[in-house]
Structure 1
Amino acid sequence: MYDSSSDEEHAPEIPALRGEKNFQMWKFFAERYLQKLGLDGFIKGTEKPPVGNTPEDVKTLLAKFHGRKFQAWNVIYTSLQRWYYKIGPFRQRELLKELTNIDYRQFKGIDALLDRAVYLQQRLGGLNMPISDEMMKTCLFGGLIQHPSRSLQTLLVAQYDELDLQGLISRIRQHTYIFDRQADEYQREQQEANRPRNNNGQSSGHRGGSRRRGRR
């Protein structure tokens, strides 16, 4: 239960989150901080809405309940926000380099590439490094133009100037299944073409028809 006499000044400070390497320590101190404030039940899901005897009581108690719930989640949100936005210039350059060098070969499918590119644009924008839509289109074009799907190459060349960023992404997503399937077919053809051949021109793994033994 919440103790109104809890003194936030004596609550342990939550250390800055630095990703996976100190997540467990961050979680430990965050839980201690919330326990000190009597708010940990909102994060664990054990805190239940109050029950009053009259509608006025219920309204008053619920207002306090939701206020405390907001306070609990605001503690976590504020801590995570500091981690999300406070990264050094080296990491910022890494994110920018990843976006400008994005390539379909790095992903299992086109949708995964698009998701990552959009995330990087949003992430860099939050770090005061806004990426224009035109630059995003250039990055996507560079990352996809060598894709084995001729249909995708045709789309990029024919509609690059006609569509804005969102239109281009939407058009690509509409046909990712076809593009990925064409890429799989191309990969199988390449594997077959590169497979060692025997004297009959068949791949070494291919036995052909069964041989009949001659009569003795």
Structure 2
Amino acid sequence: MTSNRPGPWLLGLVVCVVVGAGAPAWSQARVAARYAVTAQDLAAGEAALASLAVRGRAPTTGYARERFGQAWADVDRNGCDTRNDVLRRDLMQTVVQDCVVQRGTLDDPYTGAPIPFARGPDSAAVQIDHVVALSDAWQKGAQGWTPAAREAFANDPANLLAVDGPANQEKGAGDAATWLPPNRGYRCVYALRQVRVKAAYGLWVTAAERDALDRELGRCVVGVG
């Protein structure tokens, strides 16, 4: 089995990242509205979810990070590794030296909090998350891919986000049935990314995962205008 690379419609999914963490319940609708999606994006996400096969989770037997190639390879041959490509894309006010992001500020989508980034002992405060975790992908179809296809998936910017380090560690290899961003307003965009990546690569979902994704898509706020 080989993977299908996502097209421009997936890479063009715009993520709006704002607001602080810990919003009270009465403000959740306002927070969600700041992450509003277009009707077109929502319809595409719903269609993608409907297209996903529903199966049980395969065992993790044989999984290792190395099965997805070198971590943060320069797959696009632009001279910069994938980690620094994503940091440069997602951080604001970046200072870059020889392709390496030295510092910047992240408006974290998972917590809603601003996080300063500085390369050095505390650089793990900002980590690069595989929105569809590699281990989850392995258990839902990726173990049948070629090594080249797995490396492409692991470095695909459509499946990568710079996020809060502790939140990323808490997520681990969880799917939508076991973990969602604590920033509730962002969950719609997160679900859209998950279903569209899984559809693009022919991965499947469990029944519980499908239900969780369907629930979050049902809570999306569609922007006006």
- Which structure's relative contact order is higher, taking Cα pairs within 8 Å and 6+ residues apart? 2
For normalisation by structure 2, the TM-score amounts to 0.23
Q: Which has the higher helix share?
A: 1
